């Protein structure tokens, strides 16, 4: 599972952390922006998988596909999936919302899984190299959750993308809560619960205007990813 997890980290970094607002606008406006986005994916993947690119990852009949060919296929398929999403919005009038976002991400991850040398069943399916797994969880907690909550609030409440203060305040709150899961033993649990309580207190006092759905999703997703991170870090809960 080493290759799959590294591919997943490269995807998360390129699709969220490194997909700046300017890049996101460019890829929706012309093919050059989309090419820049897909090239970024490949460059990050090459950096994370350099020592594995010469190995055969998958076999289709007698044909062995090594890492370089796999990344080439990933480039083409990623380009087509993202272009299809944009075409469906611009030409067919489909709404860009939570469902389209999740389908887009599931398709990308499915492609990564199919291009990886994965043994089923694999006892390390939910584990990863510690630094890779923690990197994945970090991006999921900080950036993926921000985008997911944006789409949920957009679909149900008609809200726009969060303002700078709201966006980074909640990223900070989630990261601190997530960090509690690295602490050994269980004495940290009351402190984590107290941290959750202050998030709800801030919402109640409207220090920052946050919806109940925003806070609930932030806390719930962070708790799940925190438990997963703890499993990766310690090899168990």
* Residue 134 is assigned to a structural domain of this protein: no
Please say if the pLDDT value at position 32 is more than 80: yes
| CA gap 13, 35 in Å, rounded | 16
* Residue 130 is assigned to a structural domain of this protein: no
* Residue 89 is assigned to a structural domain of this protein: yes
Question: What percentage of the chain carries pLDDT values higher than 90?
Answer: 57
Q: Residue 153 belongs to what domain range? A: 139-234
* Residue 107 is assigned to a structural domain of this protein: yes
Last residue of a domain, one of 73, 99, 125: 125
pLDDT at 126: 62
* Residue 131 is assigned to a structural domain of this protein: no
Q: Rounded to 5 degrees, what angle do the CA atoms 38, 43, 25 make?
A: 35
Contacting residues for 125 by C-beta, under 8 A, at least 6 apart: 1
Number of domains in the chain: 2
* Residue 46 is assigned to a structural domain of this protein: yes
* Coil vs helix vs strand at 62: coil
Smallest Cα–Cα separation from 14: which of 37, 35, 48, 47? 37
pLDDT digits 0-9 by tens, 165-205? 778 889 999 999 999 999 999 999 999 999 999 988 888 87
pLDDT digits 0-9 by tens, 86-130? 888 888 778 888 999 999 999 999 999 999 887 655 556 667 789
103 shares a domain with 25: yes
Contacting residues for 175 by C-beta, under 8 A, at least 6 apart: 138, 141, 142
224 shares a domain with 186: yes
pLDDT-based confidence at 149, cuts 50/70/90? very high
114 shares a domain with 148: no
| Token couple for 66 | 């090594």
| CA gap 32, 50 in Å, rounded | 26
169 shares a domain with 119: no
**Mean pLDDT score across all residues of the chain:** 88
Residue 134 CA, distance from chain mean position: 12
Smallest Cα–Cα separation from 133: which of 38, 235, 47? 235
Residue with the larger pLDDT of the pair 153 and 139? 139
pLDDT digits 0-9 by tens, 211-230? 888 889 999 999 999 999 99
H-run or E-run covering 65: strand 63-66
Beta strands in 30-187 (DSSP E): 56-60, 63-66
Residue 82 CA, distance from chain mean position: 16
Question: What percentage of the chain carries pLDDT values higher than 70?
Answer: 96
70 shares a domain with 36: yes
pTM over 0.85: yes
Q: What share of the chain is helix, strand, coil (3-state, %, to 5)?
A: 75, 5, 20
Residue 222 contacts residue 141 (beta carbons within 8 Å): yes
pLDDT at 11: 96
| CA gap 102, 66 in Å, rounded | 29
List C-alpha distances in Å: 94 to 23, 54, 55, 126, 226: 22, 41, 41, 34, 34
């Amino acid at each position: 599972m080493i290759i799959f997890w590294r591919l997943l980290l490269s995807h998360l970094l390129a699709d969220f952390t490194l997909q700046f607002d300017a890049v996101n606008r460019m890829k929706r406006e012309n093919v050059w922006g989309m090419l820049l986005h897909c090239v970024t994916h490949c460059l990050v993947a090459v950096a994370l998988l350099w020592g594995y690119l010469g190995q055969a990852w998958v076999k289709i009949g007698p044909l062995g596909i090594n890492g370089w060919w796999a990344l080439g296929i990933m480039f083409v398929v990623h380009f087509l999936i993202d272009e299809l999403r944009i075409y469906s919005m611009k030409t067919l009038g489909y709404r860009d919302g939570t469902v389209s976002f999740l389908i887009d991400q599931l398709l990308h991850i499915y492609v990564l899984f199919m291009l990886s040398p994965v043994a089923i069943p694999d006892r390390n399916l939910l584990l990863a190299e510690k630094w890779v797994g923690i990197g994945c969880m970090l991006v999921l907690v900080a950036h993926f959750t921000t985008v997911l909550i944006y789409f949920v609030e957009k679909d149900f409440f008609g809200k726009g993308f969060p303002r700078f203060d709201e966006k980074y305040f909640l990223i900070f709150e989630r990261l601190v809560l997530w960090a509690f899961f690295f602490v050994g033993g269980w004495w940290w649990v009351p402190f984590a619960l107290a941290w959750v309580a202050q998030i709800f207190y801030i919402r109640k006092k409207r220090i920052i205007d946050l919806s109940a759905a925003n806070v609930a999703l932030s806390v719930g997703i962070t708790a799940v990813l925190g438990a997963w991170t703890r499993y990766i870090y310690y090899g168990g809960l």
